Every structure is written in C-alpha cells, then in structure tokens.
Structure 1
Amino acid sequence: MPIQSYNGFRRITNLAKIRIPATVTHALEPIKTDDQKVKDYGVELAASIIDSLLKAGISGFHICTLNLEKSVRLILERVGFIPSAASATAGKQQKSQLGNDPTHPNLSGAPAAAAATAAIAADTHLNPLIWKAPDSTHGHSESWDDFPNGRWGDARSPAFGDLDGYGASLKVEPAKALEMWKRPKNTEDISQLFVQFIQGKIPLLPWSEGSPLPETEAIQSKLVACNERGLWTVGSQPAVNGKPSTDPLVGWGPKGGYVYQKGFLELFVGPNEVEAMIQKLRTVSPWITFLAASRDGDIVTNTTGDVLEEQRKIAELKKVCGKKQSDLDSSAGVSSSTRNTPPPVCATPFVSKAGDELVEGPNALTWGVFPGKEIIQPTVIEKVSFLAWRDEAFEIWREWEHLYPKGSESRKLLHQIGHDYWLLNVVHNDYRNENGIWDIILS
C-alpha cells in the first residue's frame, strides 16, 4: 500500500497497530508537511520492498490504489513491470495521430465516451477533467486525483473520502485517551481541553490525528479566545494573500509559487448560542459562507442548491439512520425525563430561509499559483462533504462518551453535548482580510 499522505499513513498504521520501522519514521519526519515529497518517498519505499521480494523469489504482488492510481503506476514503472509514461507516449504517438486522421476510418479518434467525459468536465468547475486521445497514457488530468481528497476534496472525485475506511473512531488507545482527556465534569472542562490542545499541552483531541499544523501559530491567540468562550474549534486556517510557497507556516507545493487561503473555521456551538451566531453570520453575507448542522439532521445555510439531489448524494455517502433515542439514552445512563432536547430524526429536511442569494457549489479554500502549472486547488468546501463529515463528527462524541462507565458524570456530559450542540462551518470569502472571520466570530 503506497504512502499517499503522512496523516493517512499514521491513521492506518495506528488503527492496524503496525510498528513502523525507525528508518521510515526518520525519513518521513522532515517531509511530513510536503504532500508531494511524501508521495515520492512512498513510491521509492514500495518499489524497494518489491525489489527485495523479487530477489527472494516472490513474483506476485497486490498493490492497493486507494483510488489514486499515479503512485501505483510509478511503482510499476520503477520496478520495470510497465514502460515509463514518457516511453509509452513516444511509442504510441504515431498511432494516436492516425486515430485522429479521417483517412483512417477504422481508427476512431473521437469515441462516444469522450462526449460523456466532456459533459463531466463541464460540470467540474474546480478540477476539470481533460479528455485525451484513446491511446493516451492517462484518461484524465492527473492533478485532479494526485492526492487523497479526504473530506476537503470535490465529492465527485474518486479519491474523495477517508482512506482508512474505519469511519468514526478515536485514534488512540482508551488508556492513553483517558490520560490525555481526564474525566470532564462540565463544559468548562471541555473548553480547557481544546485550549490545551491549541497551546500544544496535549497532543490530540478526539477529532484530530496529530498536533496543530504550523500555520495555526498565526491564529493561535484567536483560537484560544474562541475555545475559552465555549466555541470549540475542530478545524481552522488563516487567510493568506499571496505568500511564497516556501513560507515556513503556510507554504506548500513546489518552489517559486504563491499560495492563497480564505479564512476558515469549523467549530461546535452550544444550543444557547447557535441562533445568535447564525443571525450574525447572515448580516455579512456574501463575505461569509456558512453551513450549520445538528446531530438530529437540521441544517441551516446561506447558500441555495438542489436539496433533493443533495439528499440523494448524502444517502449514497452514508446510510443515515440512527438507533432509537431510548437505546441511545440507555447506553449513556440518561433517562428520557432528564433530556431537554427532542429525539433525533432521520433525514430531517433542510432548514433554509427564503431570499438567500449565494448559489451552492464547491467553495475553494486554498489554491496556489506555480510556474508552468495551472492553478492548483487542493482544498474545497461543499455541502455534501460537510454533511457526510457532520455524521462522523457527532459520532466521535459518542465514541468519546463510551470511554466512561454508564451513569458516570463524564458520560452524561458528553452524551448531552453530542445531542445538543451544532457543528458550524464558516468561510470568509475575502482572502485579503486577515482578521475578517475573527472580527465576526469574536465580536
């Protein structure tokens, strides 16, 4: 299984309880924030393993693509199982030209599939597919699926979704989790855990896979202020306007480029604050794009879209239907008489107010401009992926509560929070305004 990303590699090895050789750990540590270098190392590592096995007399191999075929192709080239892309292209160039020559009727240069692919490309605003001749080495723009998209990619990409396939889970052993997160008794204890994570005093939260990224340093004080107020942040990025791609905090990609980011924040908001927060966000539209969702299925947004189509896509991503509320309450040691929120309902309709003017679609959060390349947009937000993540984010509250005995104070607290709070996703669309999102959230 080629290493496609550092976080994905750590997640899979942790869940599978695989011991990582020290040589691999040492090789990845200095390059873990550079996706391209991590992929390149993954190719070389896999190829060297196959070389060793070949020398030992083993001739059959199974390689997992994880819907990202480029690394697998490069590995096969590296060990000599297939010709390199350059030699294959050169060898087929003449045949490809014949295929586009109308004097050769038996060689079609415009197959029917091209029309379908073109239709897909017309609808793929952020990462267009590029159809090539039928004998071309690749069938689409490699940059579209070079990297695992996770929840931040376009839902139409075959690389969309989590790589490990394990779904919602705590990425740490129970004993270690209890050591880090103790036994919270109230929301103030939860706030302190989030603050400690932002300040680097604890290495993980239930929703994280590692320490905050270096770019968090630029907004650390603001994140601390959010969490001290009970606005618990699970995702963020600072606004960036044309910083060099080599910038130590926010840079990414090859040298000589410039990177851009919209201010972004994702947080859990309490039931007593969510309505006021949503009303405040509505007043600054269209500079602000937001999505808010409860565990019960209620959704509020200031964008419009095809609700039925979105519901269909969400159903394809996840089969959403919860247990009976009585079962959930019983597992947490909570009686129905003490709950102050209505039971969850599967497939609750979208809650959207009339008059919204923002059209729903993938919203680019991060993009880069590099010499000799098209604009690269590795990070997007769209409603379908947010709602799929919503289910997982709230399920993690349940996983956390199960660390504690039934009827315990901590279990009751986490159960209540998981059912009462809302997940709020906020994007400030003016990437030139470094403080724009904070002026609104913290006002």
Structure 2
Amino acid sequence: MKISQKIEKANKEDRIWWSFEYFPPRTAQGLQNLLDRIERMRAMGPEFVDITWNAGGRTSELTSELVKTCQKLIGIETCMHLTCTAMPKEKVDIALREAKLHGCRNVLALRGDAPVGKEWEPVEGGFAYGIDLVRYIRKHHDDYFDIAVAGYPQTHQLPPEEAAQEMQWLKEKVDAGANFIFTQMFYDVDMFVSWVRAARAAGITVPIVPGIMPIQTWNGFQKATAMANITVPQFLLDELEPHKNNDEKVRDLGTKLVADLCRQILAADIGIKGLHFYTMNLEKGCRMLLEELNLVPRIDVVKPLPWRQSLTPNRRTETTRPIFWANRTRSYLSRTENWDEYPNGRFGDSRSPAYGEIDGYGIMLKHSKDDALSLWGSPASVEEIRALFSQFCMGKLKALPWSDVAPSSETTVIATQLARLNEFGFLTINSQPAVDGAKSSDKIHGWGPANGYVYQKAYLEFFVSPELLDMLIPHIERDINITYYVINNRGDLRTNTHSDGPNAVTWGVFPGKEIVQPTIVEAISFMAWKDEAFELGRQWAKLYEPDSSSRKLIDAITDTYCLVNVVHNDYKKPDAIFEPFFKAGAEFSAKYPSTNDFANGHTN
C-alpha cells in the first residue's frame, strides 16, 4: 500500500499515526541485530518504516536487504531512500527494480550528502538534484511508486528572498511528481507551523510529515542538531544542559519536551495527524515517547492477520496458511516461495502447489550452537526433556528447536495446562486456545479490522511415545468433536478425519467483509511439515557429541516418537481438548510409576 493512501485513510478516520526511520548498519551481524529490533518495534504500531541510503551508496546492498526483509518477513510497508550521490542511472535502475521486486512502493528521492571529506558533485551519467531523480522515477515507472521528497523547515529562518526560493524549489519537486514530504528534524514548533502554512500558501497541497528526533543523550542531541544545522530553542537547552552528564535524566526530560512538541504539532490547525520518528536504530527512546503521548498501537496495524503477512507482490493476496509453521515463518516462506498460487479463499487448500524441499533455512536451528547449548543445556533423561518443554510453555525459556520465537501472548491463557501435558510426556510444539468471539481489538487474541470478532478452535501439536499415544487415542475417539492426525518419521499417517479438505481453525467476522479464515489444518500440509519437524529434532541432537547421552536420547525420541495434531471443533468448550490428555496421562503414570525409567528404556 502506498504511504499517501495510508495517510489519506488515517485522515478520513481522524486518527493519529506514526512511522519509524532506520539506517543500514555496516556489518552483517549488525543487520541481524537491527532486524530483530525492527521486529520488536513492529509491535509499537508504526504505519510504515523507511530505510536510509548512505552517501555514495556504501551500504546500498544492506538497504536493499533491509527493505526486502521488512516487506517479506516482518510484513511492514517500507519506504526506501534513494540519493543522487555517486549514483549513475544504471545503479538507480537496479535499486528501483529490486524495490519493485520486494513489493516496496515508496521511495524518498534525495540529492544526498557528499561522502565524508569530499565536495558534492554529480556523478557522470547521474543526477544533479533531487528533482531530477523525481522526474526520472516518474518517467520510467509512471505512478507505481509513491515518491517522497525532503522539506527543510529551518529554511523559513533565512532572509525572505532565500526562504521564498527554497519554497519554490520544494514546490517544483512536488509538481514534478512527489506525493508527500518528510521534513528534517526540528525542535522549534512555531517555526515549523509557520513553514507549513507558507508551503500551503505556495500551493503545496501534498501531505507533510514532520520528522521527530527523540532525545536520547546530551552528546547525541548536540551532535545531531549540529550536523543538521538545527536551531534549538533556548528554553529546551536550559532544561537539558544542567543534566548533560546524566543520560537517564536527559532522556526523561527530553521525552517530555519532545512529547510536548508533538502535542503542539497535532493540535495546530495545519491538518497534520502523523509523526515520523528518526530512531537512530534505538528502541527505548521511541517507546518512551509513544508511552508519554499515550499513543497505543492499533491491532489492525500490528496484526492484520493471526500470522505475519508477507508484502511481496506475489503474496499480498495470501489469506490462508496451515497452522503448523506458526512459529517458523521464514521456513514456510522459503518452502512455498515458488508456488504459483497460495491457499486462499474460504476453503482453499495447498494441494495444487508443491511444497519445496527442506533446504537452506528449513533445516537450520535459528540459534548458534553456543546459544542453543546455553538455552537447552545437555539433557540426559526424558524427564529433563519434558522439563524444557514445560519451561517454554510457562515463559521461562525463550525458544525451542521448533520455535523461532518466544511463546505468544495467548499461550499464557493455557500455559498451566500445557505444562501439565508436558509433564505427562506430551511434548507440545504448537498450540492455541479456543476463542468464542473475542473483540478484534483484544490484546491477547485480537487481529484484523476494527469492530470485528475473532474465533478459534483449540489446537494442540506434540511429539509423543507410541505407548502413551496408545493410551490417548481411545479417550480422544470418545469425543466426537475431536479430529486428529498422527504421523511417524517414516510418513505413516493415521487419522479419524474422513474429509480431504482443510479444517479452518481460526476465523474472523468483520464489518463489510466476508468471513476470513486465515489458519487451517489439513493432511497435505501436515505431511510436508512432518519432514521438517523431525529434522529439527535431528539438528538438535547434532549439537552434541555422537557418544553423548544427550545425542543418543534426542535421536531416540526423534526415531521412535510420533507427531500428532489435535483439533477440538467445539470452540465453545475451551477446556474440553485437555480432558483426554489428563486421563491418558494419569493412566500412564499409574501403570508406569517410574516414568523416566520406562521412557529411557524405550529410547536407548
């Protein structure tokens, strides 16, 4: 979605919105750390993010990678900076082509700064001014891209003739095809409001987005304002300077001062409802500022679907996914990358496309060997394995081999039951509680457009020994509302389901829309997931030496246990799914009081 469309929609709904800017780090490790941070900050509810382009394109490949990841994996609309500095037309063409490939439809066209220690000069075969870049993009890409340009409120303090000339140049960029304006950071509200009114008087009607820089430290604040040649009101300096050696105090005071600046912008009669935060790749300052402003993220921005939507061109219309990859989004995207269609519609399934082979990311644990061993230690008994799974469900362990992320907030609703299941020997790797009409704005279960209701069936997925499974199945089959699939590592499938079609386990009802069914359980997908689920167990085992107790134990579990998924189709009975497990677990414990001895005897 174009940013101008997002702004227009927010204005019609008379709501405040915000966005974040990031810059590409210089190293691959820095990139991964930043991506993790952007993922966390996604929960703060930005309408979009934008990614800078360093002078001379030094980090252009990292910029492109950031844009790709934000669009494809994080699922957030992205604006890519593009500068004239050291950029011949060929490089511009490559950058725009890659942006288009990743589904990015927003570009900030800038002249850009000169490389450090050099005077700015146009490159041969390149562009001299930002307006040249705007015209080039419009000429060769028509209206595919929203084009932003930079505005400089500080120029309003220039002598009248110079200020008028700066405004005329801005007007020419807008007339050449710019859709909206990002401003340079500022701390003088009166100057900004005056500049906006002058822009409107000059005939500039496109949205103006104010650039806001949180104040993190005194030295950082001084450096940023000096580099940008920003005039800072004296009252602000008087507040901060006495505490310049106390970073925490400066941040607290700075947060209140910048929050007041934001309130004045939003209250001014200039039609601005959005704020663009220059994060400097830092998280805490933006979080404190949003909290100070009481700006609460909207569920339909943070979570338009229960799973993270990919915004690449061929996946934007994807509306349904199997539940099995809920905790391994990257792997699912990788394995379905070459599909010519995706599960979609009310009862669509994945039988037409073919799941890709498990390769690349698909067989890799997310964590390095050292991190994994630090997380999971060296379990030498089934009891220790069960304890790890229980700790994960209770939020005391941040990851398992089958989960790239910590337990979701809705796991807390059934955490006690899950922990008990694991103590019995059902090693849970995926689950969701039953939900009977939660508001779409619900902080735990909510997703999708406002004023809707969401529903879901209780779901469990787990590894279990054949002996314990044999005790479970009779209890499951006494409840006509339960359907299940069982599969071993050889691919032998067992089920009580008589339909080949998918079973929708999550759905939403929203005003003015058909019922949305974004999450399903179905046999074909489960069999594809089976390969990955067992392989992840093998990868975990390989962290340990071949003759170690941990290696033998985890390999034995992978070889002998079954993978099972269970759905309770009556979503009005939230606890009913657990009853067969508690009964089977109690019977198993009674029959084999020394559970660990039994388990070790069957896994060695």
Q: CA deviation at 1:253?
A: 1.4
1:31 paired with 2:4, answer: no
1:438 maps to which residue?
A: 578
After TM superposition, list the pairs within 5 Å mapping 1:72-91 onto structure 2: 72=103, 74-75=105-106, 81-84=141-144
Contact persistence 1:148–1:159 (CA under 8 A): no
SS in 1 for 2:363: coil
Q: Structure 1 unaligned runs (5+)?
A: 1-15, 87-138, 304-357
Deviation of 1:205 after TM superposition, in Å, equals 0.6
1:184-333 alignment to 2 at 5 Å? 184-285=379-480, 287-303=481-497
Q: Quick check: 1:20 aligned with 2:17?
A: no
Deviation at 1:171, TM superposition (A): 1.0
Alpha-carbon displacement from aligned partner over 1:270-303 (angstroms, at most 9, x marks no partner): 1211122222222223x11100001122211012
Maintained 8 Å contact 2:508/2:517? yes
Cα pair 1:77 1:83 within 8 Å, conserved: no
Provide the C-alpha distance between the structure 2 equivalents of 1:294 and 1:149, rounded to a whole number of angstroms.
19
SS in 1 for 2:484: strand
Equivalent position amino acid for 1:83 in 2: D
Q: What is the CA deviation profile of residues 198-248 of structure 1, one whole-angstrom value per residue up to 9, with x for unaligned ones? A: 122221111110110000111011001111111110000000011011111
Structure 1 partner of 2:185: none
Amino acid paired to 2:431: S
State the distance in 2 between where 1:43 and 1:31 align.
Answer: 8
Residue pair 1:243, 1:258 contacting (<8 A) in 2 also: yes
Checking the alignment, whether the CA contact within 8 Å between 2:487 and 2:562 is kept in structure 1 is yes
Equivalent-residue separation in structure 2 for 1:35 and 1:281 (angstroms): 44
* 1:403 corresponds to which of 534, 539, 543: 543
- Any idea what the Cα deviations from partners look like across 1:175-196, whole Å, max 9, x if unmatched? 1111111111110000011111
CA deviation vs aligned residue, 1:398-438 (integer Å, no higher than 9, x gap)? 11111111111111111111111000100111111111211
- Native 8 Å contact 1:207 1:234 kept in 2: yes
3-state SS of paired residue (1:266): strand
8 A contact 2:99–2:105 mirrored in 1: no
Q: Choose 23-32 or 428-437, whichever is displaced more.
A: 23-32
SS of the equivalent of 1:438 reads: helix
| Cα RMSD (Å) | 3.7
Residues 196 and 162 of structure 1, relative CA distance in 2, 3 Å threshold: farther
Query: What is the CA–CA distance in structure 2 between the aligned matches of 1:217 and 1:171, rounded to whole Å?
Result: 23
Rg bigger for which structure?
A: 2
Correspondence 1:176 to 2:371: yes
1:264 is paired with a residue of what secondary structure? strand
- CA 1:432–1:442: 2 relative to 1, 3 Å: same
Q: Secondary structure at the match of 1:273?
A: helix
Question: Given the superposition, is the C-alpha separation of residues 237 and 144 from structure 1 closer, same or farther in structure 2, using an over 3 Å criterion?
Answer: same
Task: Give the stretch that moved more between structures: 290-299 or 260-269.
Answer: 290-299
Relative to structure 1, the CA distance from residue 424 to residue 73 in structure 2 (aligned partners, 3 Å threshold; closer, same or farther) is same
Change (3 A) 1:195 1:301: same
The superposition leaves residues 3-23 of structure 1 with CA deviations (integer Å, 9 ceiling, x where unpaired) of xxxxxxxxxxxxx96433877
Contact persistence 1:151–1:161 (CA under 8 A): no
Amino acid at match of 2:579: D
- For residue 252 of structure 1, report the CA deviation from its aligned partner: 0.9
Cα distance in 2 for partners of 1:251, 1:210 equals: 19
Calculate the TM-score normalised by the size of structure 1.
Answer: 0.62
**TM-score (norm. length: structure 2):** 0.47
CA distance in structure 2 between the aligned counterparts of 1:383 and 1:146, rounded to whole angstroms = 15
Matches within 5 A, 1:57-76: 57=88, 58-59=91-92, 60-61=94-95, 62-63=97-98, 72=103, 74-75=105-106
Q: Deviations over 1:40-59 (max 9, x none)?
A: 985643x324x347884422
**Mapping of residues 141-180 of structure 1, within 5 Å:** 143-144=317-318, 151=325, 154-156=349-351, 165-180=360-375
Q: Which has the higher contact order (CA 8 A, sep 6+)?
A: 1
Conserved 8 A contact 2:440-2:453? yes
CA distance in 1, matches of 2:433, 2:357: 24
Give the aligned partner of residue 110 of structure 1: none
Counterpart of 2:567 in structure 1 is 427
Q: Which amino acid aligns with 1:144?
A: E
Which protein is richer in helix relative to its size?
A: 2
Q: 293-302 or 73-82: which moved more?
A: 73-82
Rounded Cα–Cα distance in structure 2 between residues aligned with 1:372 and 1:85: 29
Unaligned runs of 5+ in 2: 1-26, 49-69, 110-136, 147-312, 327-342, 344-348, 584-604
Do 1:150 and 1:161's aligned partners in 2 also have CA atoms closer than 8 Å?
A: no
SS in 1 for 2:539: helix
For residue 39 of structure 1, report the CA deviation from its aligned partner: 5.3
Residue deviations 1:301-325 (CA, integer Å, cap 9, x gap): 012xxxxxxxxxxxxxxxxxxxxxx
SS of corresponding position for 1:281: helix
Work out the CA distance in 2 between the residues paired with 1:403 and 1:213.
Answer: 26
Alignment of 1:46-125 (within 5 A): 47-49=79-81, 51-52=82-83, 56-57=87-88, 58-59=91-92, 60-61=94-95, 62-63=97-98, 72=103, 74-75=105-106, 81-84=141-144
Q: Structure 2: how far apart are the matches of 1:228 and 1:442?
A: 10
Contact 1:145 1:159 in 2 (8 A): no
Inter-partner Cα distance in structure 2 for 1:25 and 1:146: 25
Distance 1:32 1:158 in 2: 32
Shift, 1:143, TM fit: 3.7
In 2: Cα distance, 1:159 partner to 1:34 partner: 35
- Give yes or no for contact 1:145–1:158 (8 Å, CA) kept in 2: no
CA contact (8 A) 1:235 1:265 kept: yes
Q: CA–CA distance in 2 between the matches of 1:17 and 1:77?
A: 24
- Cα distance change on mapping 1:362 and 1:54 into 2, 3 Å: farther
SS at match of 2:520: strand
Match of 1:382 among 503, 522, 536: 522
Q: What are the Cα deviations for residues 325-382 of structure 1, in whole angstroms up to 9, with x where unaligned? A: xxxxxxxxxxxxxxxxxxxxxxxxxxxxxxxxx3221111111111222221111111
User: SS at 1:272's partner residue?
Assistant: helix
Contact 2:505 2:520 (C-alpha < 8 Å) held by counterparts? yes
**Separation (CA, whole Å) in 2 of partners of 1:259 and 1:386:** 24
Give the secondary-structure state (helix, strand or coil) at the position aligned to 1:274: helix
Return the alpha-carbon distance in structure 2 between the equivalents of residues 213 and 390 of structure 1.
Answer: 22
Higher mean C-alpha deviation, range 270-279 or range 287-296: 270-279
